[in-house]
Amino acid sequence: MKKRIERRYRIARYVIYRQTILEPVDHFWTFLGAFTAIAAIGLLQQSRFTQQDDVFLIGSFGASCVLIFGATNSPLAQPRNLVGGHLLASLIGVAIHKLVPDQIWLSSALAVSLSIVCMQMTKTMHPPAGATALIANIGSEKIKSLGFGYSLTPVMTGVLILLLIALIVNNIPSSRSYPAAPWRWRKTAGKKKHRHDQTQRQDAATMDVAQMTSE
């Protein structure tokens, strides 16, 4: 029993901390990628709009940077999820705002919840996209006046900048790869299943031996 508890503790510790235990050089690449991406969008914002009218630089881009630069191997950080999630959420957010323009509590709740469901159905789950849908309903009057143009600018414009920089920065060091290869996920899953089956067989054998000994 003690060994089993220790084994489960090691597994839990691995699952919880494996994404946060990084080499020092990885922190540099994370910083460089996130800094470059937000700076590029910020420069575009500053050169075309006043600082009081934040149209290009929206909050959900910061959350996306956490995934695509801080957790590059996560399925939620892959290009399909990054682009598809933000695009769907922005379209849904604008559509809901047009249908329910005067009830911010209802439009906000519908926009976020429907966006999550649509991302689930299309396998484009990207958590920061929920904020993109929300911004379409609670953003400034300038953002609301964009209508469905919000999906093109700032959303897709910013997303493509994020994607371009992620493809460059995350593939410079040999320790990183973006997008992460799906075959690696399948291989890892296969190894885990094999180890799980082996553990179950070993546990069953141990129980049989214990029963035989007691008899």
User: Residue 50 falls within a domain, yes or no?
Assistant: yes
Provide the sign of the torsion angle of the four alpha carbons 105, 110, 116, 119, taken in this order.
negative
Domain limits for position 199: 182-208
- pLDDT in the model for residue 208: 46
Long-range CB contacts (within 8 A, 24+) of 44-49: 44/157, 44/161
Q: Same domain, yes or no, for 123 and 204?
A: no
Q: Which residues of the chain have pLDDT under 70?
A: 1, 6, 8-21, 49-54, 182-215
Provide the sign of the torsion angle of the four alpha carbons 146, 151, 157, 162, taken in this order.
positive
Three-point CA angle 81, 163, 159, nearest 5°: 75
User: Residue 41 falls within a domain, yes or no?
Assistant: yes
Residues 6+ apart with CB under 8 A from 87: 151, 155, 156, 159
Strand, coil or helix: what is 115?
helix
- pLDDT in the model for residue 93: 98
Q: Same domain, yes or no, for 189 and 95?
A: no
> What's the pTM?
0.75
Q: How far is CA 5 from CA 82, 116, 120, in A?
A: 38, 36, 35
User: Residue 9 falls within a domain, yes or no?
Assistant: no
Tokens of 48: 């075309």
**Tens digit of pLDDT for each residue in 110-157?**
999 999 999 999 999 999 999 999 999 999 888 999 999 999 989 999
Residues 6+ apart with CB under 8 A from 21: none
- pLDDT in the model for residue 188: 43
Distance of CA 206 to the CA centre of its chain: 42
Q: Same domain, yes or no, for 196 and 166?
A: no
Q: Same domain, yes or no, for 67 and 166?
A: yes
Q: Same domain, yes or no, for 157 and 204?
A: no
Q: Same domain, yes or no, for 191 and 105?
A: no
Q: Same domain, yes or no, for 134 and 172?
A: yes
DSSP strands (E only) in 31-108: none
- Rounded to an integer, what distance in angstroms lies between the CA atom of residue 123 and that of residue 129? 13
- pLDDT in the model for residue 52: 53
Q: Same domain, yes or no, for 108 and 197?
A: no
Are the C-beta atoms of 153 and 56 separated by less than 8 Å? Answer: yes
Residue 23 exposure: Cα atoms within 13 Å on the Cβ side: 7
**Tens digit of pLDDT for each residue in 73-82?**
999 999 999 9
User: Residue 114 falls within a domain, yes or no?
Assistant: yes
Structural element, H or E, at residue 186: helix 182-214
User: Residue 2 falls within a domain, yes or no?
Assistant: no
Q: Same domain, yes or no, for 199 and 146?
A: no
| Structural domains in the chain (count) | 2
- pLDDT in the model for residue 107: 97
Q: Same domain, yes or no, for 41 and 119?
A: yes
